[in-house]
């Protein structure tokens, strides 16, 4: 067909038309013709098609490595690296390109995907404003001298900010009230009756949260309970995800001697997390930046 003549024009069919009919790229045709003309020539190395990017792959991977080295966190994914490159270094590239390079150079954190059964709920609760729903839960940290100690935490569903926490030897209802009280005082300024009216608190069915002391104190502040589904911890996933981050960044690989060491580590983590940890649902902003932007927008509308 390449040597055939069109009966309508009397001219031979062009290469573009032939390749279009055969559904063959023209680059393959020219590569085959070069190989036929010079059989001893080395095969052509496939190159990236289209215009050349402003930042080469070599420069971009160097910037990625530099960002991972300067970050105080470990085990971060490509989305946060991509967001920091845009915000801090002014490098505007595609997110999937950052993912490809990090995968090719083995810079992604290893993880294991866990299959989850299908459920009727959407597995997430994101509120449109702060102080609409919080979440509370507890976890344990092992120490050398004091054994296992309890950590209670309170998180804001809106921007995943850690509002309150309490580390104690025992994980009873009284320690849970301490963490919630810290969050209420921080957000509302005092602990008077009805101060947090309109707020919902997501918690599981643990004995420390279902106890009368905790439920009565919660209602005294005007907080309504929001129960997580039984045997489905993902329905309290906001605080569960925060505890995972805390343990990955602060607990795992570290030996705590006393309960005071745990308190110091949690205090440092909360300050850094709220100020620096980038969260995708916040537009890759930290909880503190998200709250500052919301307050600025609120004051602008009022003015």
Q: What is the pLDDT of residue 122?
A: 59
Task: Tell me the β-bridge partners of 167.
Answer: 151
Alpha-carbon span 153 to 160, nearest angstrom: 12
Q: What is the pLDDT of residue 120?
A: 55
3-state SS, one letter per residue, for 63-115? HHHHHHHHCCCCCCCHHHHHHHHHHHCCCCCCHHHHHHHHHHCCCCCCCCCCC
The segments of the chain whose pLDDT lies below 50 read 1
Q: Where are the domains of the chain?
A: 1-37, 63-104, 133-302
pLDDT score for 45: 65
| CA 187 – CA 233 distance, rounded (Å) | 26
* pLDDT number for residue 117: 62
Per-residue model confidence as pLDDT tens digits over 240-285: 999 999 999 999 999 999 999 999 999 999 999 999 999 999 999 9
Fold of 133-302: Nucleotidyltransferase; domain 5 (3.30.420)
- Give the predicted TM-score (pTM) of the model: 0.74
pLDDT the model gives residue 126 = 79
Query: What are the Cα distances from residue 269, in Å, to 83, 119, 206?
Result: 21, 33, 25
């Amino acid at each position: 067909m390449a040597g055939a003549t069109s009966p309508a024009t009397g001219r031979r069919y062009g290469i573009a038309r032939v390749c279009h009919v055969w559904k063959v790229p023209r680059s393959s045709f020219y590569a085959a013709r070069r190989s036929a003309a010079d059989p001893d020539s080395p095969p052509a190395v496939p190159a990236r098609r289209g215009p050349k990017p402003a930042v080469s792959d070599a420069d971009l991977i160097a910037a990625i490595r530099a960002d991972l080295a300067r970050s105080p966190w470990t085990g971060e994914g490509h989305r946060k690296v991509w967001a920091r490159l845009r915000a801090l270094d002014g490098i505007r590239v595609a997110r999937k390109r950052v993912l490809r390079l990090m995968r090719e150079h083995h810079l992604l954190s290893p993880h294991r995907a866990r299959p989850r059964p299908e459920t009727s709920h959407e597995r997430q609760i994101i509120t449109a404003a702060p102080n609409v729903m919080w979440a509370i839960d507890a976890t344990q940290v092992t120490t050398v001298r004091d054994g296992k100690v309890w950590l209670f935490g309170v998180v804001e569903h809106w921007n995943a900010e850690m509002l309150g926490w309490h580390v104690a030897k025992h994980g009873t209802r009284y320690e849970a009230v301490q963490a919630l009280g810290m969050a209420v005082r921080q957000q509302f300024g005092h602990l008077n009756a009805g101060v947090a009216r309109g707020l919902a608190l997501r918690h599981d069915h643990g004995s420390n949260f279902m106890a009368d002391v905790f439920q009565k104190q919660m209602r005294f502040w005007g907080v309504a309970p929001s129960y997580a589904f039984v045997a489905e911890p993902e329905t309290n996933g906001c605080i569960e995800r925060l505890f995972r981050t805390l343990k990955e960044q602060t607990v795992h690989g570290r030996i705590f001697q006393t309960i005071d060491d745990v308190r110091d580590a949690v205090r440092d983590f909360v300050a850094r997390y709220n100020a620096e940890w980038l969260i995708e649902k916040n537009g890759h902003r930290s909880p503190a930046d998200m709250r500052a932007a919301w307050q600025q927008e609120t004051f602008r509308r009022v003015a």
